Amino acid sequence: MKKLTKTLFIISTLFGLGACSSTNLPKLQTVERVDLDRYQGEWHEIARIDHWFQEGCINSTANYSMRDDGDIRVLNQCDVENSDGETDEAIGRAWVVDQESNAKLKVQFPLKGIKLPFLAGDYWIIALEENYQYAMVGDPKREYLWILARNEVLPQSDLDNLLKQAKDAGFPIEQLIYK
């Protein structure tokens, strides 16, 4: 029951039900173009704006792969803090909503046996290193932000540049937690 309640809350939180947004924020810019084939694979979470649905998660990863229907399979995994090797995972799907750039996607984590297709969250790629070694993902309301890298450690100079970009875009970077 706890897992179902948590999942329902994740869905409602991720997808903006009851969410507030500031109208004073500048329009969120995404990267010019994303090659989805190159974006596939494993990404390590370097930093995130923390939310209860990732509470207790450390060493988080996201793995993206193409599905047969053209959408993207999303596998999020993490180690559960203060446990004896327990892990947590969520499997969802993503799809492109801006075909011109491939930088704006919607992500959905369905409940088993319950289809709620109208609930999907924004996943906007707002920074992407030219060799696809790091990325920054956020949403237009600035409620969610993830800094991701192919390696478990991101050089400090790259992290500093991403933090500046996030701050300039209106994200509350003081709320970030790191690995």
The pTM assigned to this predicted structure is 0.83
Beta bridge partners of 127: 136
Tokens of 78: 């993490």
Tokens 């599905």 locate to: 67
Per-residue pLDDT tens over the stretch 100-141: 999 999 998 876 555 555 678 899 999 999 999 999 999 999
The separation between CA 157 and the C-alpha centre of its own chain, rounded to angstroms, equals 22
The domain spans of the chain are: 2-19+28-178
Fold (topology level) of 2-19+28-178: Lipocalin (2.40.128)
Per-residue pLDDT tens over the stretch 75-89: 999 999 888 889 999
